Amino acid sequence: MVSVDKRSRWVFYVFLLLGFGIRLYGLTFHSLWLDETVSVYLASFPLSEILRQGMSLQEPNPPLYHLLLHLWMRVFGSDEGAVRLLSALLGTLYLPPVYLLGRRLFSSRVALLATMLAAINPLLVWYSQETRMYALVATLTLWSLYCFVRAVDTPRWSWWVAYTAVTVAGLYTHLYAVFVLPAQLLFLLLCARGRRTALRRGAVAWAVSLLCFVPWLWRAWDLSATTPSWRPALGLSAMLVACLEAFTMRRVPLTGVAWAEALLILGIIALSGLLLPQAPRGEVRLGRWKTQLPRSRVLLALVLVVPFLSAYVLSFRQQIFTVYYLIIIVAPFLLALARGVDRAASFHWGVGVASAVLVIGLFSYGLYHNWSLEYRKEEWRAAAQYVEEHARQGDAVLCHVDYTRIPFGYYYRGDLPVFAPFGGPVGEAADVSAALVGLGSYDTIWLVESHTEQVDPNREVESWLSNSFPVVTEQYPPGVEVKGYAISYQLESVPLTADRVDAIYDESVRLVAYEINDGAYAAIDDTYHPPSGWIHVTLYWEALDPLLVDYHATVRMTDDTNQVWGGSLERTTGAMRFYPSSSWKPGEIVRDDYDVNLNPMTPVGEYSLEVSLFAATGEALAASYEGGEGAAVPLAQIRIATY
């Protein structure tokens, strides 16, 4: 017959594989966002430079993670899957100390439930799929706590040495790791006073750990006095709610009463795990921690509360609270939650089962939304892809603000020049004009912008471009904006890449040519302009004689029964509004761009793209073209391949 301990270990291995599998699932579903690409960028420097930047706080985080990522990238490369795999492995290594702590502090049942919750926890999975230091600091901090628990109960120095080494590694991964140290010191003073050896050795190990971090900590404290914070100020209750939501469901569309009730129930279960007394007689307990169960709950309470309050108190000096920085205390929360479910089961098995189902269900609900379209990270992959597909030789890219050049450059494979002149506040319109005047030699400027709130809150760069040049297109992948501006819209000739049309409207205006991207299109778009797909069309016009009126054009996509399935957007910043036809010079070619918005219900099939020209009165002009005449000039056949 299999022993209880052996069966427990086999179940743990199943949860370990489950956790690793979940962390591998959808590893590249999200594009790398700004901070992830910055990590890759920093890790590409030589080791000495990474160490210098991290220790001087030129990079505001300690250097250990970037040193590790540098070595990892030398072996596995720097593509999305490779750099995120490191975090997935580090996040999986988080599960063993959850299990070991649960067994030592409480029971195998609590340990297994906490391990399963850690395996599917949305926050832990999210940061196990992010190229940042959070999976590493969470794992190191938890192993530090396990070494601390073992060291308290052993006369040997080995566990204190291990504790010191792992603690220092955690400290040099992220600042928030230091907030666990006061909790551990308080525990030593409160619960180890009768054990002088443990208290003495623990104090030495604690002091050595802190002293090793003093060089970095001192610089951080000194710098924080002069560095403004971008983080919003939060009250204590708002911080508590933010942590409770993040540690359980992370981010879900649940709102109102249902959301509040879910958080309240989860909070009550976790609180009961911290406060309820030890279990009834009959439960198997082994080891010193089990025979002194209140000591276990005191440790959990301290490790939960002290870092949380430390972040709150220090935020009076400078706002430093960011909820995911407190990933360092997720494991104690999960252990409290698991013990709360266990206490409910000891009261009545039905209540325990219901509690377990509720907790697992809410965690799974949150985990599902880790890979939902509405909660995607910044889509730099899509932004770079759009520019690659639509830009041409003679164009240039303007990244705004300057550090967005890093994520754009990570994905961009084209050869256009990329400019990023604005790293600080942009100033007034005159300052913007002076910085951008050199871009006038290009055909199209592709403005790629994100994170402009601090540097350009009034959108001065975008306003200057919109007031100076016609808008080509506007695309809005999550977290990023891509806008094209036609610098050269008054041309001497039609580009060689354009398809000829030679259609004449009202014997006064010629549609000379057009350009569209080749290939099939989708009626539904979930990235640039959800839910509709889009077709970008560039038209080239010529005035045959001086025009006395202003015209405007529309582009439509129709089926063989002339039913409209897509139409161009009306933009006040388009070429015909920016440069009215009454100003056109006979013989010059005018570039005119349109985005055709598709009906998301458009069936798969072949459609016709056609152009109509209207007078100011709204009357459509008659046109003659090769093969016929009418109010609409056919351009090309469009294939809609998917819904």
Per residue in 497-552, pLDDT (tens digit) is 999 998 999 999 999 999 998 788 999 999 999 999 999 999 999 999 999 899 99
DSSP 574-618: SHHHHS-GGGPPTT-EEEEEEEEEEPTTPPSEEEEEEEEEE-TTS
The tokens for 318 are 């400078």
Q: Which residue type occupies 379?
A: E
Mean pLDDT of 560-586: 93
* Burial state string for 3-40 with b = 16 or more CB within 10 A and e = fewer than 16: eeeeebeebbeebbeebbebbbeebeebbbbbbbbbbb
Dihedral of the alpha carbons of 408, 411, 413, 415, in degrees to the nearest 10: 10
Mean pLDDT of 82-110: 97
Say whether pLDDT at 185 is over 50: yes
Q: Are 42 and 59 in contact (CB under 8 A)?
A: yes
DSSP 285-344: --SHHHHTHHHHHHHHHHHHHHHHHHHHHHTTTS----GGGGGGGHHHHHHHHHHHHHHH
Mean pLDDT of 245-271: 94
Per residue in 423-460, pLDDT (tens digit) is 888 888 888 999 998 898 999 999 999 999 989 999 99
Alpha carbons 455 and 425: distance in angstroms, whole number: 4
Please list, in sequence order, all residues whose beta carbon lies within 8 angstroms of the beta carbon of residue 275, skipping any fewer than 6 positions away. Answer: 297
Q: Strand ranges (DSSP E) for 319-443?
A: 396-400, 418-419
Per residue in 311-357, pLDDT (tens digit) is 999 888 888 889 999 999 999 999 999 999 999 998 889 999 999 99
Please list, in sequence order, all residues whose beta carbon lies within 8 angstroms of the beta carbon of residue 174, skipping any fewer than 6 positions away. Answer: 61, 62, 65, 133, 134, 136, 137, 325, 328
Q: Are 416 and 484 in contact (CB under 8 A)?
A: no
Strands 396-400 and 444-449: parallel
584 pLDDT band, cuts 50/70/90, is very high
Say whether pLDDT at 281 is over 50: no
Mean pLDDT of 482-486: 97
286 pLDDT band, cuts 50/70/90, is very low
The pLDDT value recorded for residue 285 is 45
Say whether pLDDT at 224 is over 80: no
Q: How far is CA 33 from the centre of its chain?
A: 5
- CB count, 10 Å around CB of 354? 14
Say whether pLDDT at 289 is over 60: no
- CB count, 10 Å around CB of 191? 19
The pLDDT value recorded for residue 3 is 61
The tokens for 504 are 């004449």
Sign of CA dihedral 270, 274, 275, 278: positive
The pLDDT value recorded for residue 4 is 63
Say whether pLDDT at 572 is over 70: yes
The tokens for 210 are 């802190």
79 pLDDT band, cuts 50/70/90, is very high
Mean pLDDT of 221-236: 74
Say whether pLDDT at 231 is over 80: no
The pLDDT value recorded for residue 635 is 94
Give the pTM.
0.92
Alpha carbons 450 and 28: distance in angstroms, whole number: 21
- The residues that bridge with 515 in the sheet, in sequence order, are 538
The pLDDT value recorded for residue 284 is 42
Say whether pLDDT at 391 is over 90: yes
The pLDDT value recorded for residue 167 is 98
Mean pLDDT of 472-490: 96
Mean pLDDT of 240-263: 94
The pLDDT value recorded for residue 416 is 96
Say whether pLDDT at 280 is over 70: no
Per residue in 428-438, pLDDT (tens digit) is 888 899 999 88
Per residue in 158-174, pLDDT (tens digit) is 999 999 999 999 999 99
283 pLDDT band, cuts 50/70/90, is very low
Per residue in 17-71, pLDDT (tens digit) is 999 999 999 999 999 999 999 999 999 999 999 999 999 988 899 999 999 999 9
Q: Are 183 and 303 in contact (CB under 8 A)?
A: yes
